Structure 1
Amino acid sequence: MSNALEEAAADFARHLRAERDVSPHTMRAYLGDLRDLCGYANEVGVSEPGELDVSLLRAWLARQHALGRSRATLARRTAAARAFTHHLHRRGLLKKDPGLLLGTPKRQRDLPSVLTQDDAARLLDKVDTQGPLGLRDLAVLEMLYGTGVRVGELCGLDIDDLEPARQTVRVLGKGGRERIVPMGEPAMRAVQDWLRAGRPALANEGSGPALFLGARGGRLHPTSARRIVHNRIAEVGQVPDLSPHGLRHSAATHLLEGGADLRSVQEILGHASLQTTQLYTHVSAERLKQVHRQAHPRGARDE
């Protein structure tokens, strides 16, 4: 039997679904965090929303830290608690909002794995394009690397989103934000080859307007797209295994290495914050330092 605090958490879940534009992934994560918070509150004898205070929240987060949760998880759980207490305060269930007193753990930004430009060329030049699936797989790889789109965005593309004359594609990103992304000649050529000689062989009544199709003719699923990337990299060999997101990271890094400015890369990737895009400047800097250490006579560190 649920208590008042758990009922308030359920009400917050309904609020998230109905009123806030959050992704399914964020929804699942937040609700899991709040279940954990409610479970901890029950352990210490708190069952009413009005009994939540900053001491309880900090004690809960301290336990997470003691359990070895990552900085990213702690930051998300802090955000979930703050969103929850803000909701309770607005509903009149908390006189003061204790979430305002919580600090946010600084997230450790790990540098993403990326391909070198030679690796990217080796991968895309050696994909076996035999049959409709071969043509599709090359188009998928060229799109992911050539445009930097997210795998979910790629799978959501329709044929009409392409603008071959302008060599661009219309992409629906996070939060329903639409952007126009340039496509290079290799990506556009691979997609047009797929549309001409590959897609018709797989299309059926259920295909609809989807640009990329699975083997049975339905819209390509992100899980299948991830499998395509891993399998094709494995077939080529001598290329580090990456996910579709790794190809996106590679695209961003190579744009910056080629002289693109941060604002342009932000627009291409669809980042809401320039701070997210700035991560890739660190990637480029780390790679330059590695080259310097290996190539400069005074670049190596003393052992």
Structure 2
Amino acid sequence: MSELKKSLDNFLLQLADERGLSENTIDAYRGDLSQYLEFVERSNCRQWCDVTNVMVMNYLYSLKDRGLAPATLARKAAAVRGLHRYLLRSGQTDNDPAYTLNHLTKASEKFPPAVLSLDQMEQLLSAPDQTSRTGKRDHAMLEVLYATGMRVSECIKLNREHVNLEMEFVRCCGSRNHERVLPLNGQSVQALREYIGDRDQDPAKEAPDRPLFLNRLNKRLSRQGVWKILKYYAVQAGIKDQFSPETIRQSLTAHLFANGAPIEFVDELMGRAPHASALRFPRSRRQPLKKIYMAYHPRAKKENE
């Protein structure tokens, strides 16, 4: 018996002993998790600590592609989430790759956007034709979205004055006019330099409130316009999974967790409500956002290697 199977069996025993679940319920858990175990083993994982966020999401999307009902998907997601919570509590893993499934506990919940692998993300970022003006804009926009994890609605609000290429940061205005300062990595800075330089030979003379990302009529891009752009490049990059405006943001979340990023850092970067663990420590005891960003963001981390 493999170590994976042994841990799964121990989890089922724990459910029966501590929670007193019926035999039928345990059998349902066993069926759902045996299917998950087969997927994990086909992914060449020999230990539960080898499982990643992206792998968990890919498993659920493989089920969704088979046309399973939302209630069935929610049940299987809950089983996977429960297993990984058990593995974390029992010290068999030091992270929870199913953390992003927290909200998939009810059949009525909307299924989250697909999660792209690092290779798929690289293909998406390199899809625009960077020799054209439009291609430079689209490349810069994709790089900014993946560099910061900001929402599309936040991205289209950006003005030229919100970007500081020398200090490598961007000021982002989220919901309820909450502003946060987000780091940029070297590739996003370079993409912005090429786009801004191509757009205006003297960007310093631009009106400070001029939109950063312009359409063909030199007006601010709309959310619908950005969605069409993203969808076009997803097709060009050969991405066949479900794709939405949230896909890049969701993928960055998964990639950060896969690199071991602290939950409170991810919440801060994404502009989410602070996780409970983040509230236990004063800000002065936590590392600066930029320092953590350089350690855990896939592209920034690569630049430091």
Equivalent in the alignment of 1:216 = 217
**1:208 Cα deviation after fit:** 5.0
> Which letter maps to 2:270?
L
Q: Is the 8 A contact 1:135 1:198 kept in 2?
A: no
Number of equivalences: 171
The 1:263–1:115 alpha-carbon spacing in structure 2 relative to 1, beyond 3 Å, is same
Q: Is the 8 A contact 2:120 2:237 kept in 1?
A: no
Cα distance in 2 between the residues matched to 1:226 and 1:258 = 28
Equivalent in the alignment of 1:127 = 128
Equivalent in the alignment of 1:183 = 184
Equivalent in the alignment of 2:241 = 240
Q: Is the 8 A contact 1:230 1:243 kept in 2?
A: yes
> Which letter maps to 1:227?
K
The 1:272–1:238 alpha-carbon spacing in structure 2 relative to 1, beyond 3 Å, is closer
Equivalent in the alignment of 1:266 = 267
Q: Is the 8 A contact 2:157 2:211 kept in 1?
A: yes
The 1:160–1:228 alpha-carbon spacing in structure 2 relative to 1, beyond 3 Å, is same
* Runs (5+) with no aligned partner, structure 2: 1-69, 72-104, 279-305
**1:227 Cα deviation after fit:** 0.7
> Which letter maps to 2:226?
A
Equivalent in the alignment of 2:142 = 141
Cα distance in 2 between the residues matched to 1:207 and 1:161 = 9
Compare relative contact order (CA 8 Å, sep 6+) and give the higher one, 1 or 2.
Answer: 2
Q: Is the 8 A contact 2:159 2:208 kept in 1?
A: no
**1:273 Cα deviation after fit:** 4.5
The 1:236–1:200 alpha-carbon spacing in structure 2 relative to 1, beyond 3 Å, is farther
**1:147 Cα deviation after fit:** 0.9
**1:111 Cα deviation after fit:** 4.3
Cα distance in 2 between the residues matched to 1:199 and 1:216 = 15
Q: Is the 8 A contact 1:131 1:198 kept in 2?
A: no
Q: Is the 8 A contact 1:132 1:199 kept in 2?
A: no
What percent of counterpart residues are identical? Answer: 29
1:169 counterpart SS class? strand
Alpha-carbon displacement from aligned partner over 1:158-204 (angstroms, at most 9, x marks no partner): 11111222211110001111101111111111111110013569xxx
Q: Which moved more, 1:207-216 or 1:188-197?
A: 207-216
Q: Is the 8 A contact 1:206 1:217 kept in 2?
A: no
> Which letter maps to 1:193?
E
> Which letter maps to 2:233?
R
Equivalent in the alignment of 1:197 = 198
Cα distance in 1 between the residues matched to 2:147 and 2:207 = 28
TM-score when scaled to structure 2? 0.51
RMSD: 2.9
Cα distance in 1 between the residues matched to 2:148 and 2:259 = 15
> Which letter maps to 2:145?
L
Q: Is the 8 A contact 2:161 2:209 kept in 1?
A: no
The 1:252–1:266 alpha-carbon spacing in structure 2 relative to 1, beyond 3 Å, is same
The structure whose Rg is larger is 1
Cα distance in 2 between the residues matched to 1:200 and 1:115 = 36
**1:124 Cα deviation after fit:** 1.4
Q: Is the 8 A contact 1:170 1:180 kept in 2?
A: yes
Q: Is the 8 A contact 2:140 2:192 kept in 1?
A: yes
2:166 counterpart SS class? coil
2:254 counterpart SS class? helix
TM-score when scaled to structure 1? 0.51
Alpha-carbon displacement from aligned partner over 1:138-172 (angstroms, at most 9, x marks no partner): 11111111210000100000111112222111100
Q: Is the 8 A contact 1:145 1:251 kept in 2?
A: yes
1:180 counterpart SS class? strand
Cα distance in 2 between the residues matched to 1:240 and 1:130 = 28
Q: Is the 8 A contact 2:264 2:274 kept in 1?
A: no
> Which letter maps to 2:131?
Q
Equivalent in the alignment of 2:116 = 115
Q: Is the 8 A contact 1:148 1:268 kept in 2?
A: yes
